[in-house]
Amino acid sequence: MNKSPAVILADAVEILRRNGHFKGGYHSPEGHTPENERPVCALGAILIAAEGEPIPEMPGVFGVDAYEAAKTLARAITSSVVDDDPIERIADWNDNADRTPGEVMQAMARAAEEWAA
């Protein structure tokens, strides 16, 4: 592992703060803005923090560091997805109509602190 889940999640919080939060995909489909500067979902922020881009190189396949960070966040949230797939759990949780950017950033920060403890 090159980056710990705690570092990736802390960086993801800053990416969300800078880029903004998005629901329904890894990033906003905005026109001419580079992908890594667009509003992103929780998973898109993790991917930028770990791999530099908001979408996986292969659909649904995260690098080791990004996947470990996703697993760490998935353990810190409550999702209606009951299986153990952290990607599905986070996507469901992030895209909840009532989910706020602040909740996403707080959960990431909390998960980072818990991992580092």
Segments making up each domain of the chain, as ranges: 5-116
Return the half-sphere exposure (C-beta side, CA atoms, 13 A cut-off) of residue 41.
Answer: 22
pLDDT in tens, 30-62: 777 888 789 999 999 999 999 998 988 777 789
Token pair in block for residue 98:
């009532």
Q: Which amino acid is at 78?
A: T
109, 12 Cβ separation under 8 angstroms:
no
**pLDDT confidence of residue 63:** 92
**pLDDT confidence of residue 86:** 94
- Spatial neighbors of 18 by CB under 8 A, at least 6 apart, are none
Which residues are bridge partners to 27 per DSSP? Answer: 40
pLDDT in tens, 86-96: 999 999 999 99
Indicate whether 105 pLDDT > 60. yes
Contacts 24+ apart (CB under 8 A), 53-61: 54/26, 54/27, 55/26, 55/27, 60/87
Indicate whether 1 pLDDT > 60. no
Q: What is the pTM of this model?
A: 0.93
